[in-house]
Amino acid sequence: MKNAGLLLIVLILTSCITQKNKNIQQNILTLKDSYCKAPLQYNYSQKIPSYNSDSIIAANRKLTHYFSDQSILILNALESVDEAEAIIDLKKDSTLKSQLRVLQLKTKINSKISIALTELDAVAAEFDCEGERVAQMANYVDNINSDRNNRLILFSIITGAVTSVAGAVIKDNGVENAVNIGGGLLGAGLGLATFNPKGKKVEFIHERNLLRDIWEQKLQSRNFPPFIWYMYTEKKFTGNRQHSIIQNMKQRWIQYQFSSDEAHANQSVNFGNGGLYRSSDLHNRESMLNQMQSATRTINQNINYLLLDLDKVISLE
């Protein structure tokens, strides 16, 4: 009777675990391919503004009295330098015609800035969406690993119980010792298996990989609008002006996500089209996507300074 009751408990627990695994696998199928891609792929030009920033600033000395160096570079990237210079000239004329023309030119610049801000929001939103998708998958993998450990602990307990029952039923001492030893070894093996540090792997696909261009420091895809890529890669838009936004980002990833092992990082599944991910890989990917989302949103500060400079020019008497 004891053996029959124990067998029934094992069957019930196994059935529950199997159903939960089916649910997890269905959720993994839903998450493994990206739902964050835009329904329409805009065919961005890959023509990047000039990186000869010193020459650009030197060639636009008229603007330096009214705009910061960063604002001049953004105006150049938006192809709005001519409009800004025309506004400065027109402000010397107080006629109604000149004032109307100033407003027209400002509207034209603002329109280009609005497009740039929309591009920033779109890129940041995709980083955000991808980060959430990865986080959900990472949680599922963590749950799988946790459930696996719980099952091994459960089976270890059951093995011990079965061994005890079997030992009580079997009268022959030699056979009893063999059962106890075998059960003890099996229980120990299941216990040790819970300490597997790497855990399970799951397939995770990202053919449109936002991190690849950042890691390789090359715009090899059409994932980013040229203006956004220019802001990522122009050194004058960072505090130290020695490294660009994505150069600084890559160095932080090597140090913190890959323990200063660049060779290992180059082989990471994070920078390909996808593959088999462990939980640690997924958490690394989530962190990198979130960091890029934050870095993208900080570009708004540069554009805000340009708008402030432009308003000062417009309000000049």
Q: 109-145, pLDDT tens digit by residue?
A: 999 999 999 999 999 999 999 999 999 989 988 887 7
* Exposed/middle/buried for residue 280 (C-beta within 10 Å: 0-12, 13-18, 19+): middle
184: in domain:
no
Q: Is 174 exposed, middle or buried (0-12, 13-18, 19+ CB in 10 A)?
A: exposed
Given a contact cutoff of 8 angstroms between Cβ atoms, the answer to whether 260 and 254 are in contact is: yes
Q: In whole angstroms, what is the distance from residue 62 CA to residue 106 CA?
A: 17
Residue 224 in any domain: the answer is yes
pLDDT of 37-87, one tens digit each? 777 676 777 789 999 999 999 999 999 999 999 999 999 999 999 999 999
Among 85-89, 144-148, 211-215, the range scoring the smallest mean pLDDT is 144-148
Residues in contact with 80: Cβ distance below 8 Å, sequence separation at least 6, in sequence order: 108, 109, 112
Q: Residue 193 has what pLDDT? A: 35
More confident residue, 4 or 47: 47
Domain-embedded: residue 24: no
| Domain-embedded: residue 277 | yes
Contact 290, 135 (CB under 8 A): no
pLDDT digits (tens, 9 = 90+) for 9-42: 545 445 554 545 555 555 555 565 667 877 767 6
Render pLDDT for 157-196 as a digit per residue (tens, 0 to 9): 444 444 444 444 455 555 445 444 444 434 333 333 333 4
Q: What is the pTM of this model?
A: 0.76
Residue 187 belongs to some domain of the structure: no
Residue 195 located in a structural domain: no
Handedness of CA 266, 270, 272, 274 (dihedral sign): positive
User: Is residue 188 assigned to a domain?
Assistant: no
| Cα–Cα distance, 155 to 172 (Å, whole number) | 26
Return the pLDDT at 222. Answer: 83
- For 218, the domain range is 115-144+201-314
- Structural domains counted in the chain: 1
Closest CA relative to residue 269, chosen from 257, 256, 255, 251: 257
121 belongs to a structural domain: yes
